[in-house]
Structure 1
Amino acid sequence: MKFNFLYIAIIVFLNYSFGQQSKDLKKIASLKQFVLNSKEIDSSSIAEAHYTIAEYYRKATPLTDSAFYHYHHAEKIFRQLKTKYRLALTLYGIAVIQKNEKDFIGSEVSCVDALSLLESLNKTDDIINLKSFIYNNLGIVFKELEQFDESIKYHTKAIELKEKLKGNNKETINISKNNIGNTYKNAKQFDLAINYYNQILQDKEFIKENRSMYALVLDNYAHTLYLLNKHEQLPGLYFKALKISDSINYRGYNTIIINEHIAEYYNGKGNKDLAKHYAYIAKDISEKYHNDDLLKSLLLLSKIEEGELAVKHLKSYISLNDSLQKNERTIRNKFARIRFETNQIEEENIQIAKERLWLLVISVAVIIASFLLYLVIMQRSKNKELQFIQEQQETNEEIYNLMLSQNEKIEEARTLEKKRISEELHDGILGRLFGTRLSLDSLNMSSSMEAIKNREQYINELKTIEEDIRKVSHELNTDFVSGSGFVDIIKTLVITQATVYKLSYKFNHDDTINWDEVSNKKKIHIYRIIQESLHNIYKHASATQVNVSFELKNNVIWLTLIDDGTGFDVQKAKSGIGLKNMNSRINEINGVIDITSEKDTGTKVTIQVPMT
Structure 2
Amino acid sequence: MIDSLSHEVVNLKVKDSSSIARAHFSLGEIYRKRIPLADSAYFHYHKAEKIYRKLSEEFNIAKALYGIAVIQCNEKDFIGSEVTAIEAITLLESLDETNGVKKYKAYIYNTLGIVFDELEQYGESTKYYNLALKFKKELRGNFSASINYTLNNLADSYTRSGQYELAIENYKLILENKQLIKEQPGFYALVLGNYGHTLYLSKHLKEIPNLYLKALKISDSIDYKGYNSIIISQHLAEYYNDINYKDSAKFYAYRAKNISKKYHNDDLLKSLLLLSEIEEGDIAAKHLKDYVKLSDSLQKNERRIRNKFARIRFETQQIEQENVRIAKERMWLLIISAVLVISSFLLYLVITQRNRNKELQFIQKQQETNEEIYNLMLSQNESIEEARTQEKKRISEELHDGVLGRLFGTRLSLDSLNMSNSAEAIKTREQYINELKTIEQDIRKVSHELNTDFVSGSGFIDIIKTFLETQTLAYKLKYILELDDAINWDEASNKNKIHIYRIIQESLHNIYKHANATQVNISFKLKNNVICLTMRDNGSGYDVNKAKTGIGLKNMRSRINDINGSINIDSEIDVGTTVIIEAPIT
Can you list the C-alpha shifts for 1:434-458, whole angstroms capped at 9, x where unaligned?
A: xxxxxxxxxxxxxxxxxxxxxxxxx
1:582-593 map, 5 Å: none
| 1:182 and 2:156 are equivalent in the alignment | yes
List gaps (5 residues or longer) in structure 1.
1-25, 341-355, 362-612
Question: Is this contact kept in 2: 1:72–1:339, CA < 8 A?
Answer: no
Gaps of 5+ in 2: 315-544, 551-586
1:357 CA displacement: 5.8
1:318 positional shift:
0.7
Give the Å deviation of 1:218.
Answer: 0.6
1:169-248 mapped onto 2 (5 Å cutoff): 169-248=143-222
Partners of 1:241 and 1:258 within 8 A in 2: yes
Partner of 1:287: 261
CA contact (8 A) 2:106 2:131 kept: yes
| Whole-angstrom distance in 2 between the partners of 1:62 and 1:360 | 57
* Post-superposition offset of 1:201: 1.4
Residues of 2 paired with 1:285 and 1:78: CA distance?
A: 42
1:77 aligns with 2:47: no
Residue 67 of structure 2: aligned partner: 93
Contact kept, 8 Å, 2:236 with 2:249, in 1: the verdict is yes
1:109 aligned to which of 83, 90, 113: 83
User: What code does the residue aligned with 2:52 have?
Assistant: F
Give the superposition deviation at 1:359: 9.1
8 Å CA contact retained: 1:135, 1:157 = yes
- What SS is found at the alignment partner of 2:19? helix
Residues 339 and 112 (structure 1), Cα distance of their counterparts in 2 relative to 1, 3 Å cut: closer
Cα deviation 1:224-273 (Å, max 9, x = unaligned): 11111221211111000001111222111000000000000000000111
1:30 aligns with 2:4: yes
> Could you tell me which residue of structure 1 aligns to residue 99 of structure 2?
125
Alpha-carbon shift at residue 337 of structure 1 (Å): 5.1
Question: What is the SS of the residue equivalent to 1:204?
Answer: coil
User: Where in structure 2 are the equivalents of 1:125-524 lying within 5 Å?
Assistant: 125-336=99-310
User: 1:61, 1:357 → 2: CA distance?
Assistant: 50
Alpha-carbon offset, residue 338 of structure 1: 7.9
Q: How far is 1:212 from its partner?
A: 1.4
Q: Does 1:42 align with 2:13?
A: no
Paired amino acid for 1:168: N
Q: What is the SS of the residue equivalent to 1:231?
A: coil
Partner SS for 2:148: helix
Contact 1:185 1:193 in 2 (8 A): yes
Deviation at 1:50, TM superposition (A): 1.4
Equivalent positions of 1:550-565 (< 5 A) are none
Q: Contact 1:54/1:70 (CA < 8 Å) preserved in 2? A: yes
- Following superposition, the deviation at residue 165 of structure 1 comes to 1.3
Question: Which secondary structure state, in structure 1, belongs to the residue aligned with residue 36 of structure 2?
Answer: coil
CA distance 1:116–1:33, shift in 2 (3 Å)? same
Which has the higher relative contact order, 1 or 2, with Cα contacts under 8 A spaced 6 or more apart?
Answer: 2
Residue 40 and residue 280 in structure 1: after superposition, are their counterparts in 2 closer, same or farther (change >3 A)?
A: same
Question: Is 1:64 equivalent to 2:28 in the alignment?
Answer: no
Change (3 A) 1:74 1:273: same
Report how far residue 336 of structure 1 moved.
Answer: 2.2
Name the CA distance, whole Å, in 2 between partners of 1:44 and 1:281: 49
Residue 29 of structure 1: CA displacement?
1.6
Q: Which amino acid aligns with 1:141?
A: V
Asked whether the 8 Å contact 2:237–2:250 carries over to 1, the reply is yes
C-alpha distance in structure 2 between counterparts of 1:218 and 1:31, whole Å:
40
- CA–CA distance in 2 between the matches of 1:67 and 1:232? 46
Q: Cα distance, 1:60 vs. partner?
A: 2.1
In structure 1, what residue type is equivalent to 2:59?
Y
Q: Corresponding residue for 1:596?
A: none
> Offset at 1:66?
1.5
2:4 and 2:176 map into 1 onto residues whose CA distance is 48
Distance 2:69 2:256 in 1: 29
Distance 1:214 1:34 in 2: 40
Paired amino acid for 1:286:
S
Secondary structure, counterpart of 2:179 in structure 1 = helix
Which secondary structure state, in structure 2, belongs to the residue aligned with residue 69 of structure 1?
Answer: helix
Residue in structure 1 matched with residue 388 of structure 2 by the alignment:
none
Deviation track 1:268-309 (CA, whole Å, cap 9, x = no partner) reads: 000111100000000000000000100010000000000001
3-state SS in 2 of match to 1:121: coil
Contact 1:128–1:161 (CA under 8 A) maintained in structure 2: yes
Distance 1:39 1:319, change over 3 A: same
Could you say what secondary structure the match of 1:102 adopts? coil
> Residues 360 and 270 (structure 1 numbering): CA distance in 2 closer, same or farther, change over 3 Å?
farther
How far apart are 1:324 and its partner, in Å? 0.8
Q: Is the 8 A contact 1:69 1:338 kept in 2?
A: no
2: CA distance, partners of 1:72 / 1:208: 39
Residue 77 of structure 2 contacts residue 305 of structure 2 at CA under 8 Å; is this kept in 1?
no
Runs of 4+ displaced beyond 6 Å: 358-361
1:411 aligns to what? none
Distance 1:264 1:97, change over 3 A: same
**Mapped partners of 1:196, 1:39: distance in 2:** 51
Q: TM-score, normalised by structure 2?
A: 0.53
Please name the residue that 1:491 is paired with. Answer: none
Question: Could you tell me whether the CA contact under 8 Å between 1:91 and 1:111 is conserved in 2?
Answer: yes
- 1:40 CA drift (Å): 4.2
**Identical-pair percentage:** 59
C-alpha distance in 2, partners of 1:289/1:257? 12
Distance (Å, rounded) in 1 between the aligned partners of 2:12 and 2:38: 24
AA matched with 2:199? L
Question: What do residues 306-365 of structure 1 show as CA deviations (whole Å, max 9, x unaligned)?
Answer: 00010100111111111111111112222225879xxxxxxxxxxxxxxx969999xxxx
Count of residues in Structure 1 that have an aligned counterpart in Structure 2: 320
Aligned residues of 2:68 and 2:84 also touching (Cα < 8 A): yes
Whole-angstrom CA distance in 2 between matches of 1:326 and 1:359: 51
What is residue 413 of structure 1 aligned with on the other side? none
Under a length normalisation based on structure 1, what TM-score does the superposition of the two structures give?
0.51
* Residue 38 of structure 1, CA deviation: 3.4
CA offsets, 1:37-96, max 9 Å, x none? 334441111111211111111112232112111111111111110111111110000000
Would the alpha carbon gap of residues 358 and 97 (structure 1) be closer, same or farther in structure 2, given more than 3 Å must change? Answer: farther
- 1:65–1:335 contact (8 Å) kept in structure 2: no
> Whole-Å Cα distance in 1 between the matches of residues 74 and 65 of structure 2?
14
Structure 2 CA distance for partners of 1:40 and 1:237, relative to 1, 3 Å: closer
